[in-house]
Amino acid sequence: MSTLEFIPLHPTFVAEARGVDLRQAQDEATLTALHAAMDRYGVLVFREQPLTDAEQLAFAQAWDGNLHTKTGISALTQSRLGNEALTDISNVDENGDPLDSSDRRRVYGLANQLWHTDASFENPPGRYSLLSARVIPPVPADTEFADTRAAWDALSPTEQARLLPLTAHHSIAHSREILGFSFSAEERERLHGNPQPLVRYSKVTGRRALYLAAHASHLLEMPVAEGRLLLRDLMTHATAAPFVYRHVWQDRDLVIWDNRTTMHRARPFDDKHHRRELRRVTTLDIERA
């Protein structure tokens, strides 16, 4: 087992993991220690991880098993990376040039700047996401994370009791349409979405978390307008400054986060003149053997 060390980066969540090369992290003791750290921190930052696509996929599979392949963008176009388990989080086309402003892929990707959690619109949803930095622009292009466990803890007992029985319908079509993106009838059918509990509970940690996202279109137990107002208020609460960590990307960073206990969003940058390429792998939220 590697000599692992975890350095907190925020008062309530997020740590930098040191002393491990994820290309070699295959032994049970290291993988177990990383799971325990994820339960504690929710977000782990790994520096100097020069992973290839194959190495990133291999580590994710060894660590957490099954991988998501039904990403939202797959309803629109095939991945230029040739593997639907590897999500292309970039602003470039097949030739490596920045996407044109009007390119559907670029417009679709702009919704990543909304607070969200990966694959909440699928069944099963996403558990962990692993995002690898391959090309970092010379301008700030950061990612923010919000601690939805701490946000839950900060609610009053009365408000917590009110929220516990509620269910939200999640749809990636909804989050894109917020920004004016249009889908064909066939695309909308493929992106119908799924219901998810508004509050998630972990048997491992004994903690609850708000399960929020721009994908959450309405609450099943409430009229649409009232439910959307409540979701809006909860999103504002959960993304208040005390609950947010801003990650400044460095070349060869890998960041892992728990989609069940955090939200995240990309921050805007000059994507018309600078390349930014990252690769994301997301695991399925199913019981591990």
Q: Which of 153, 157, 144, 151 is nearest to 240 (CA)?
A: 151
Which tens digits make up the pLDDT trace of 50-65?
999 999 999 999 999 8
What is the number of domains present in the chain? 1
Evaluated on CA atoms 4, 152, 63, 50, the torsion sign reads: negative
Q: What is the mean pLDDT of residues 186-200?
A: 89
More confident residue, 42 or 105: 42
Q: What is the pLDDT of residue 188?
A: 78
| Number of helices (H), then strands (E), in the chain | 8, 15
Q: What is the pLDDT of residue 258?
A: 98
Q: What is the pLDDT of residue 75?
A: 54
CATH number of domain containing 178:
3.60.130.10
Chain center to CA of 151: 17
The domain of 186 spans: 5-284
37 lies in some domain: yes
CA angle at 46 for the pair 45 and 51, rounded to the nearest 5°: 130
**Tokens describing residue 38:** 């994820």
- Alpha-carbon gap, residue 114 to 146, rounded angstroms: 12
CA angle at 252 for the pair 251 and 255, rounded to the nearest 5°: 110
Residue 96 pLDDT level (bands cut at 50, 70, 90): confident
Percent of the chain past pLDDT 90, that is, above it, reads: 80
- Alpha-carbon gap, residue 178 to 173, rounded angstroms: 9
pTM of the model: 0.95
Q: What is the mean pLDDT of residues 170-185?
A: 89
51 lies in some domain: yes
- Alpha-carbon gap, residue 152 to 134, rounded angstroms: 34
183 lies in some domain: yes
Q: What is the mean pLDDT of residues 282-286?
A: 94
230 lies in some domain: yes
**Tokens describing residue 249:** 């990307």
Do 271 and 110 meet the contact criterion of CB atoms below 8 Å apart? no
223 lies in some domain: yes
Do 49 and 253 meet the contact criterion of CB atoms below 8 Å apart? yes
**Tokens describing residue 185:** 């009838």
Do 46 and 260 meet the contact criterion of CB atoms below 8 Å apart? no
Do 126 and 280 meet the contact criterion of CB atoms below 8 Å apart? no
- Alpha-carbon gap, residue 162 to 144, rounded angstroms: 28
State the amino acid at position 107 in one-letter form.
V
58 lies in some domain: yes
289 lies in some domain: no
- Alpha-carbon gap, residue 66 to 167, rounded angstroms: 26
Residue 23 pLDDT level (bands cut at 50, 70, 90): very high
